[in-house]
Amino acid sequence: MSSYGRCNPIVTVFILGVSVLFQLIAAGMALWFIRVTQQRAGWILMAMKRCVPLVYSSQADGGVPLDLFTELVALFVSILLCGGVYKIGTLFRETRENQSRLYESESRYHSLYDEVSDGIVLTDIKGGSLEPNPSAVRMFGYSKEEFLKLHAASLFVSQDLKEDPIEFGSLREGKKLLKTRRLLRKDGTIFHAEISSTLLATGQLVALIRDITSRYESERSLQANEAHIRAVLNSVFDGIMTLDLGGEIVECNRGTCAMFREKRERLIRSRVFEFVPELQERWGQITEGSDEAAEALRWEIQAADRFGRSFPVELSVTSVELQSERRVVVAIRDLTKWKELQAHVVQTQKMEALGTLAGVWRTISIMC
């Protein structure tokens, strides 16, 4: 029996009580930790080990051990054990929560990766070991196993790669690339796709591939229609202009350029009032009136070319909706030759009338 225990039994009893309390807490936390870690055997063994001093205490003379130094050591170990178990439990619980959130995030990622309509292909920095999502498999017609044996270049039209190679260097520098390219399916058919490529933090390249064949064909068809319409308009001798509601020329045909003796680049965004000043006085009737009223507007007024030469024109003004915007379409016809022809006809008629009158006068003179 140690001298520490003989000198102060009250302190020894207090230390024993606190030690027993912390050992009970440690045993309880060990049992709680079983639920957190799902590891039963090790923590049950620790709880039993913590209960051993309690059994020893209950069997000692008077129920109180008299060795103060031993109880101080036991108390210190119990306090450290409680703090350690609590800290480990907190860290373990946070780890499990982080793992749970990571699992949920990965589940959402895989769900999007598998269900997105666009094709997604992962590859290494050299373009090998292609990893496609289901949409890419359907898009190209290759199986996942076949994709793993392909190089990225085999998905492109070879002639296009000669003219515009894959910019692996730019991707390695961290640049994001967005391009429209022709791609090859397994059966050899070609389709147009919009490809967005970037380098991931893992060192892999990811390419998002969207099939735009339908959009491309629609755009080509629209361009062909526009070219056809432009060709028709340019073959017309009359001037045809499209104006915004401020009177600026948005579009015009060749007939307009020839009429005003000005280049198309200078006519665009010029105000029509510079060439047809009288139209400004009538502009309110166009912009404030209804479409039906605008369709009926026709005038014969004076226009002027860029050299200041004035000439008569006939205007036909129509208000239309183009791309959700109201525009004014003006057809303008140069009446110079028509007016000259009219003047010639009038002059001819006058000469014929004078000739007839002279003949009648001569006849009357002979008769008299």
- Residue 368 inside a domain? The answer is no
Range 82-86, long-range pairs (CB < 8 A, 24+ positions) = 82/22, 82/25, 82/26, 82/29, 85/26, 85/29, 85/30, 85/33, 86/29
pLDDT band at 272 (very low <50, low <70, confident <90, very high): very high
Does residue 128 share a domain with residue 101? no
Burial of 81 (0-12, 13-18, 19+ CB in 10 A): buried
Q: CATH number of the domain that 260 lies in?
A: 3.30.450.20
Quick check: 275 pLDDT over 90? yes
Q: Is residue 287 very low, low, confident or very high in pLDDT (cuts 50, 70, 90)?
A: confident
Domain holding 37, by residue range, is 3-110
Q: Is the pTM of this model over 0.85?
A: no
> Which residues are within 8 A (CB) of 153 and not within 5 positions of it... i.e. 6 or more apart?
127, 161, 166
On whether residue 304 sits in a domain, the answer given is yes
Same domain for 7 and 104, yes or no, is yes
Confidence of residue 199 (pLDDT cuts 50, 70, 90): confident
Domain annotation covers residue 44: yes
Which pLDDT tens digit goes with each residue over 301-331?
999 998 999 999 998 888 887 767 888 889 8
- Domain contains 227: no
Q: Tell me if 150 is assigned to some domain.
A: yes
Residue 345, domain member (yes or no) = no
Residue 292 predicted with pLDDT over 50: no
Residues 192, 247 share a domain: no
Q: What confidence score (pLDDT) does residue 193 get? A: 92
What is the model's pLDDT at position 190? Answer: 92
How far is 89 from 36, CA to CA, in rounded Å? Answer: 7
Domain end call among 95, 110, 125: 110
Q: In the structure encoding, which two tokens stand for residue 22, read together? A: 């912390």
Write out pLDDT tens, residues 84-103.
666 766 777 777 777 777 76
Identify whether residues 209 and 271 lie together within a single domain.
no
Residue 88 included in any domain: yes
Backbone φ, ψ for residue 45 (5° rounding):
-60, -40
Please provide the size of the chain in residues. 368
Q: What is the mean pLDDT of the chain?
A: 76
Q: Which residues pair with 317 in a beta bridge?
A: 297, 330
Residue 225 domain flag: no
Can you list the alpha helix ranges (DSSP code H) found in the chain? 3-7, 9-37, 40-59, 68-115, 134-140, 144-148, 158-163, 168-172, 213-234, 254-260, 264-267, 278-287, 291-295, 336-367
Q: How many CB atoms lie within 10 A of CB 15?
A: 20
Structure token pair of residue 340: 């000259």
Given 46, 81, 110, which residue is the final one in a domain? Answer: 110
Percent of the chain with pLDDT over 90: 12
- Count of domains observed in the chain: 3
